[in-house]
Chain A
Amino acid sequence: MAGRLYYAAALLALRVWASSHRYVEAVLLCGSGARGNLRYGVSDLDIVVIIKDCDNASIFVARCCAELKLLATIFPMISVGPHEIVFKRSAFEQSVLVQRPFLLSVSDFSKFLYVRGSEVAISIPYRIEHELCTLNFLWDKLLIVTRAEPGSRYFRYLCDRLMQQFEALEDRLELPRRRFPDRNVTSTDLIVWHQELTDSVYQRLSIFRPQTVPDLSAELSAFEIPNRLFFESPFHSVQHDRVSLRLLIPSSGMSARLQAERLIRSLAERCDADYFLLDGVLLPLRGKLDILHQHTHRLTFHEVAGITEELSSVRSGVEEDLRACVGAVQDAPVSLKKVNREYIRGIRDDRNGVFALKCKDPGFLAKVFAVWKCEENGQVSECDIEAVRTIEETVKRERLYEAQFQLRSYLVHGEVRIANLQTSVLIITRNRSSYLRKALASLGRQTMMPSEIIVVDNDSTDDTPQVVAENVEQLPMLRYVKETRPGIPCARNRALRESSSDSDVVAFLDDDCVAAPDWLYLLTLPFSYDESIVSTGGFVEFSSEDATIWGEFYINQRSGEST
């Protein structure tokens, strides 16, 4: 009883905390709804804090984590995870960790649920259908996330949507339809119903299903699990015979991810640092799955069952042959290529490499692609290995953007084509010496230095020449040119004419702009990987620092750019 009160107090504290923040959308109890949780006494519940527009690097998340950690000092049952902020009851009920609390991160969740005030509405019905169709294979527990009262309109709406999904699933599984006297199904009915459905899924597939696993590390120590199985799988699954299917169908990630994460944590003592790569691989999950989703939601139940059979045969035979010849691609789980056939087809059809530029894990994708090519051609050529190596090295240097271009080049041309280009930065100015000083200072901080900088002075009457002269020491490639014909285009043309013919790329910067340190690197990068690109443009932000009221109006009108 005391534990429960303590729990309620912690919950209240979380609620108060959440309501004091605009960017915290909701505190959600996963299991049977916020109020239902205490009432039904469902044991394996976690709390998810939903943050708007969440992304792992978001400052809000960092802030939330910090504040929650503070809360955790008062309430020891609150534990803050690395990416999602989780509130666990494990402090007084040890069994929580043993079972499978199902968590959704914000990023997954906000896709199909829209939380406003105290109500929950489904904003994208397609999404929830889709998620549930694929996901309810994975769940042991039904998840209804809501802040709405169990009897409310939205709650009923939510239940109806879920029921439709269950009926669809029953059809798919060829089970007899379960009928209810009326459509007003309560959440407990749904939980029971879902439980039965899940049971029949597992029964149908006749695979191992951990009911209550007392200790995962103990359970898994009976099996030999090679290191590589724990990471770089598209589903972040533990590709373990007995649990593979559960993670096979692409979820929006969190269940699989948590499963993997938990396994890794429990195995952390026995394993090396390799496992912690998972965290690095977790981030790209969604980008990859977008394509997966397009294809896999069409898979029927029987196809899914077929894939598992295929998977087991692949694991025994083909894998070894491939491993022998692949070399650098060796790390990739070979069983991927069967499971991912659709996935790869999606990439291959994407001839322009649009997908590659959005991909958050180019190194992984390059490997997948290489494995696929290996399968097609029967052997892996040197250039594939070279490409994978190049891309992976770029990723390791934390240059994601560049790696994406390399990947695109690899997907489109079959190799990574890099051109070394000389860059000129051209600045035209007129009577703005104080701003020009700042602009030149920002050029001095660039991560990639240009081979020349030309300042074209369009007939200034102030101390522009002196400002340029001051900066010559710091920027030896700086040149000063005076253009007497007035007008921006004349000055720009003069700058273009003055730029040395050795330079391949010319970049313009305004004199009243301050460039970000990676400005030139990011702006000129596309040229070196794609010959068809003739021009790139960046984003122009306005600073309201020294803005006049007219400037504020201008910013108000233009969150784009000004000449």
Chain B
Amino acid sequence: MIIPFQAEAYSFRYLPKSRHRALALFFPGANVAFRRSALKPIEFYDEKLHSGEDTDAGIRMVQQGELFSTSSARVVHTANLSLRKLMLQWWRIAVYTVRVIRKHCDPGVEVFVRFGGGLGMDAQSRNVFYRELKLPFTAILFLTPFLFLNIFAIVSLMTWGNPVALSLTAVAAAIYFRSDFLGTKIPIGKRIVFAALRFVINLMLLYGSLLEGFKHRLLYLNYELDARRA
């Protein structure tokens, strides 16, 4: 079962604000309630998924009935994370998103365009192409500045520094890093740390899910993190 924007919901693991409610096919495990009679079997969570189990549960729950977002029911979550935990969490997201998608989607091709804003609450995103095809594989592609940065960088490496490829790389890098360093109010030292973190995590997301996807006959180019304006 795959519907347009479903891939977005998979990758967008977190409950968006109400205007994105259409995308909210699941609720985060930290703050969720179920009708007990709808949990069939009662061991509802997939024990093979060590991360993304709430996404999986949400997708299966949609088929049972209505999901209702009560954003006024609030919990406050601590953000006391170590670097190791942070990295581990993103790595899990990269890997298990693929598994959740593999579990639920039919073969097809989906292309998302994400320029400007990246993936965020206020993301400008478009699903430009969706096709359900009789293919042996599924392809879900997020076309992002980071992806182009990577492609051009690889091309310029392979062509031993072709000036065209190099300049394209530079442009892509400028577009990518622009959102890190423009319009933020974070002090510069922290901003550099954040940009580096974002770069590493984006690498993890892109290649982690790409490699994991190959194992499952799924071509999945992951979304990139956006530099949120704080």
Chain A residues with CB under 8 Å of chain B are: 401, 423-424, 435, 485, 487-490, 492-493, 496-497, 499, 501, 503-510, 512-516, 518-520, 522-527, 530, 532-563
Given contacts A513-B30, A519-B75, A537-B67, 14 further A-B contacts (CB under 8 A): A487-B50, A496-B44, A497-B43, A505-B34, A522-B73, A534-B34, A536-B67, A537-B27, A539-B73, A541-B76, A547-B79, A553-B193, A562-B28, A563-B29
Chain A CB count within 10 A is highest, among B24, B37, B76, B198, for B76
User: Can you list, as one digit per residue, whether each of B39-67 has a CB less than 8 Å from chain A (1) or not (0)?
Assistant: 10011111111110110001001001111
Contact B44 A535 (CB under 8 A): no
* Complex contact B72–A533 (CB within 8 A): no
Q: Are B14 and A536 in contact (CB under 8 A)?
A: no
Complex: A423 Cα to B197 Cα, angstroms: 41
Contacts A/B (CB < 8 Å), 18 sampled: A506-B36, A507-B33, A512-B78, A516-B73, A516-B74, A518-B72, A524-B33, A533-B35, A533-B66, A536-B32, A536-B69, A537-B15, A538-B32, A539-B31, A541-B75, A550-B81, A551-B79, A559-B228
Q: Are A549 and B27 in contact (CB under 8 A)?
A: no
The answer to whether A489 and B47 touch (CB under 8 A), given A515-B75, A550-B81, A561-B15, is yes
Binds A, one of B2-10, B82-90, B108-116, B143-151: B82-90
Judged by a CB distance under 8 angstroms, whether B194 is at the interface is yes
Known: A516-B73, A563-B28. A546 touches B78 (CB 8 A): yes
Question: In the complex, what residue of chain B is closest to A520 when comparing beta carbons?
Answer: B73
Which of chain A's residues have a CB closer than 8 A to the CB of B28? Answer: 537, 540, 560-563
With a cutoff of 8 Å between Cβ atoms, the chain B residues found around residue A551 in the complex are 78-81, 86
| Chain B: minimal CB distance from A530 (Å) | 7
The reply to whether B77 and A543 form a contact with Cβ atoms under 8 Å apart is yes
The answer to whether A541 touches B27, judged by C-beta atoms less than 8 angstroms apart, is: no
User: Contact: B68 with A542, CB < 8 Å?
Assistant: no
Q: B43: which A residues are within 8 A, CB to CB?
A: 493, 496-497
Q: Give the A-B pair count, Cβ closer than 8 A.
A: 260
The CA-CA distance from A497 to B42 in the complex, in Å, is 6
Closest residue of B by beta carbon distance from A526: B68
A493 in contact with B72 given A534-B66, A550-B83, A563-B51 (CB within 8 Å): no
Please measure, in the bound complex, the distance between the C-alpha atom of A487 and the C-alpha atom of B61, giving whole angstroms. 21
What residues of B have a CB within 8 angstroms of the CB of A552 in the complex?
79, 190
Contact partner, B77, options A510, A518, A523, A549, Cβ 8 Å: A510
Contact: A519 with B74, CB < 8 Å? yes
Q: Is the CB of A506 within 8 A of B33?
A: yes
Contact in complex: A542, B79 (CB < 8 Å)? yes
Bound CA–CA A533/B27 (angstroms)? 13
B70 and A536 within 8 A (CB): yes
- List B residues at the A interface (Cβ < 8 Å): 14-16, 24, 26-39, 42-51, 53-54, 58, 61, 64-83, 85-86, 89, 121, 186, 190, 193-194, 197-198, 225-226, 228, 230
CA distance A303 to B65 in the complex (A): 44
Q: DSSP class of A's interface residues: helix, strand, loop or mixed?
A: mixed
Q: A490, B47: Cβ atoms under 8 Å?
A: yes
Contacting pair B33 A535 (CB below 8 A): yes
Inter-subunit contact A534/B35 (CB<8 Å): yes
Cβ B69 vs Cβ A537 within 8 A: yes
CA distance A532 to B37 in the complex (A): 12
Inside 8 A of B197's CB, which chain A residues have their CB?
550, 553
Bound-state CA distance A536–B193 (Å) is: 37
Q: Contacts A536-B68, A541-B74, A563-B54 hold; do A549 and B14 have CB atoms under 8 A apart?
A: no
Whether A530 pairs with B82 at a CB distance below 8 angstroms is no
Q: Which residue from chain B places its CB closest to the CB of A508 in the assembled complex?
A: B32
> Chain A contacts of B67 at CB under 8 A?
533-537
Q: How far is the CB of A495 from chain B (nearest CB, A)?
A: 9
Bound-state Cα–Cα, A401 to B71, Å: 12
Contact call B72/A401, Cβ cutoff below 8 A: yes
B78 touches A540 (CB 8 A): no
Cβ–Cβ < 8 Å partners of A532 in chain B: 65-66
CB distance from A396 to the nearest CB of B (A): 20
Q: Find chain B residues with CB under 8 A from A503 CB.
A: 36
Residues from chain A with a CB closer than 8 A to the CB of B50 are 487-489
**A560 — which chain B residues lie within 8 A by C-beta?**
14-16, 28, 121
In the assembled complex, the CB of B22 is this many whole angstroms from the nearest CB of chain A, namely 13
- Which A-B residue pairs are the 7 nearest by beta carbons? A537-B27, A560-B14, A538-B73, A551-B79, A561-B28, A534-B65, A522-B73
